[in-house]
Amino acid sequence: MALPPLSDLLDGLKVVSLPLNTRFRGVQHREIAYIEGPCGVGEFAPFLEYEPDEASRWLAAALEAAYVGWPEPVRDVVAVNATVPAVPAADVPRVLARFDGCSTAKVKVAEKGQALDDDVARVAAVRDGLGPEGRVRLDANGGWGVDDAVAAITRLAAFDLEYVEQPVMPVDDLARVRRSLAASGVDVRIAADESIRKADDPLRVVELHAADLAIVKVAPLGGVTGALRIAEQTGLPMVVSSALDSSPGMAAGLALAAALPGLEHACGLGTINLLDGDVVERSLVPVGGNLTVAQIDDARALDPERLERYRASAEREAWWRERVAASYEVLAAH
């Protein structure tokens, strides 16, 4: 698409700082900028450490939402999973209680400063909370080395895992972990997240037989259309996940999940429950473990009172305006 003038983006930019009810990725607040265009609102929220080159993909996704729109859905309902941060096992029931009707849970493991015993206790508590019929999936965010990953997954496999997401970071190591588990008779599938959304060549995951599934997130892949293209090129089963979005960003994830030709697994689109605030009146939260396409319009209706309540400081707003400009410069160069 043709880029709109930068001045248009900056003139209407709104920046908020939303509190989290559980520390996640080392932060207690989620800073987000919103861009409004003829097709609605787009969310721009790359994590604070991302440089302009990486953040520019998130800006492309926000511009798609605001100026282009999304493909037509092929389904009306999308099942979602609960998300359990790296909390103590005793806190697991409190976290699961926030996710109405979810029978699948993604559990964070391999947290810095924690031991494998902490992961085992947390996963055991999730398995107890969901019961034998629930699905438990793990997300290590590349926090292990190859040997540690194989040892940890071998031990955690006792909890009947659906899959383990990104146990190690390099795609070559991901392939090694998958081969080692298979050779040891450990029947746990491997999912790729960062190996796709942060890679210069996402298709290496397929070429190296490094994963059984792919985790796709709209913003890091430059938008719904870009994520659909990755899904088609890899041919892997897809799980759509959020990037700790507020409701407008979550709406983009729901639009992707609703547009995928096939969707076999619950999606990670329930993380609104980790926030203690939102910018719309009717947040995009699951009901009975599901989201519906009908919720998208409400999820993009910015509420002026909430925008003011959670408005970022003038200093942070200026920082985000500079960030939008830097990311825009990268897009314009391409």
Q: Which residues are catalytic?
A: 108, 217
3-state secondary structure of 15: strand
**What does the DSSP 8-state code read for residue 89?**
G
Inter-CA distances, 229 with 77, 124, 155, 219, 224, Å: 22, 37, 36, 14, 9
Inter-CA distances, 10 with 7, 77, 304, Å: 5, 35, 18
Residue 116 burial (CB < 10 Å; 0-12/13-18/19+)?
A: middle
Residue 165 assigned to a binding site? yes
Residue 193 assigned to a binding site? yes
Inter-CA distances, 242 with 2, 146, 216, 221, 277, Å: 26, 26, 8, 12, 16
Task: Specify whether the CB–CB gap between 10 and 312 falls below 8 A.
Answer: no
Q: Which residue has the tokens 């992707």?
A: 256
Annotated binding-site members for Mg(2+): 139, 165, 193
Binding site as annotated, residues: 139, 165, 193
